[in-house]
Chain A
Amino acid sequence: MLFIAALLFYFLRHKETTLPPKPSQYDFTETNHVQEQIATESPPPGAQAGTQAPAPPLLPAPQLGDAVASLNPSDKKAWQTLTEIIQSKNDNDPRLDHELKNTSPELHRAFFETYSQLAPENRNGRGTIAFLVARDLKSQQDFDFIEKIFQEEPCLNLADCKVSAPDTNPHTSGMDQTTLNYPQLASLYQLSQQLGSRPELLQNPAYRENVLNILKTAENYPVPAVRNKAREIREHYKL
Chain B
Amino acid sequence: MDDKYVIKNLSYEDVLQQLNNVTPLQLSKTLIQFELSDKQSSSDILDSIYKEFETKENVINELVTPLLLNVADGMVRHPKLGDIFKKTNITPTRIVKEVNEFRYDVLTEEYINDNEFMIRAEKEHYLRKNYDRKARSKTEKEKGIVRQNKSGQIEDAVTGKTLQLREDDANGDSTIFAHMDHVTPLKHMQVKYRNHPYLQRGDISKLAGLPENEAYINATLNTKKGALTWKEFIEKNPDALPSEQQKKVIELENKSEKAIAEESKKMITKNVGLQGLGEALILLMKPIWFEIKDSIQNGILYGFDTLDKIEAFGLRMRRAYVYVKENVIPKLGDFLKDVVANFLGVLINSVVDMFTGLLKSLLSIIMNGFLAIKEALSILLKPNSEMTKAQKADAITKIIASAVVPVVFFAFEQNIGKVPIIGDVLTLILSGLTTTMVVWLLNEIDIFSVKSEKRMERIEEIFNIRVKTIKENTDAFEKAALEHLAKKRLQFHKIANGLQSAVLDGSDVNSFVYGLADFMGIELSIKSTNEFYELLSQNESLSI
Q: Do A and B bind each other?
A: no
Q: Interface on A for B, CB 8 Å cutoff? A: none
